A and B are shown apart, each in its own frame.
Chain A
Amino acid sequence: MLHLILFLFFGTICVAGAINLLAQSHPINSALSLIAVMASLAGEYLLLGAEFVAAVQVIVYAGAIMVLFVITIMLLNAGKEERTKGSRIAILIGVPGVVIGGVLVAWTLLHRPDMQTVPIGALKGDPSAIARLLFHQFLLPFEVTSVLILIAIMGAVVLASRPEAIARPHHSTPGPQETRKLVATGKDRR
Chain B
Amino acid sequence: MSITAFIVISIIKSVIVLGILLTAVAYSVWLERKVSARIQNRWGPTRVGPFGLLQPLADGVKFILKEELTEPHVYRPLFIAAPNSSLVFAITSISVIPFGNWVDLGPWGTYLQITDLNIGLLVVLGITSMGVYGVALAGWSSNNKYSLLGGLRASAQMISYEVSLGLSLVGVLIITGSLSLRDIVDAQRHLHWNIFLQPVAFFIYLISAYAETNRTPFDLPEAESELVAGYHTEYSAMKFAMFFMSEYANMVTVACLATLLFFGGWLGPVFGPPILQMILPVLWFCLKVFFFMFLYVWVRWTLPRFRYDQLMAFGWKVLLPLAVANIVVTALIVAWRA
Contact = CB atoms under 8 A, between A and B. Distances in A.
B122 A64 contact: no
Interface string A22-66: 000000100000010000000000000001100110110011100
Nearest to B177: A128
Interface residues of B, number: 25
Contacts of A28: 78, 137, 140
Contacts of A56: 122
B129 A64 contact: yes
B122 A74 contact: no
A55 B122 contact: yes
B133 A35 contact: yes
A104 interface: no
Main secondary structure of the interface of B (DSSP, over half): helix
Nearest to A39: B130
Interface string B155-182: 1100100100010000000000001000
A163 B35 CA distance: 51
Contacts of B126: 55, 58-59, 62-63
A52 B121 CA distance: 11
B258 interface: no
A178 B125 CA distance: 56
Nearest to A59: B126
A127 interface: yes
B85 to A, nearest CB: 10
Given A28-B78, A74-B151, A75-B152, A63 B122 contact: no
A70 interface: yes
A136 B11 CA distance: 43
B111 to A, nearest CB: 19
Contacts of A68: 159
A75 B152 CA distance: 8
A71 interface: yes
A120 interface: no
Contact of A74 (B119, B125, B152): B152
Contacts of A67: 129, 132-133, 136, 155, 159
A74 B148 contact: yes
A74 B139 contact: yes
Contacts of A127: 119, 179
B118 A51 contact: yes
23 contacts: A55-B122, A55-B125, A55-B126, A56-B122, A58-B126, A59-B122, A59-B129, A59-B166, A62-B126, A62-B130, A63-B126, A64-B129, A64-B159, A64-B162, A67-B136, A67-B155, A68-B159, A70-B133, A70-B155, A71-B156, A74-B139, A74-B140, A126-B118
Given A64-B162, A71-B155, 16 more contacts: A51-B119, A52-B119, A55-B122, A55-B125, A55-B126, A62-B126, A63-B132, A64-B129, A67-B159, A68-B159, A70-B133, A71-B152, A71-B156, A74-B140, A75-B152, A127-B179
Which 9 residue pairs across A and B have the least CB separation, nearest first?
A63-B129, A55-B122, A58-B126, A74-B140, A59-B126, A55-B119, A51-B119, A67-B132, A63-B130
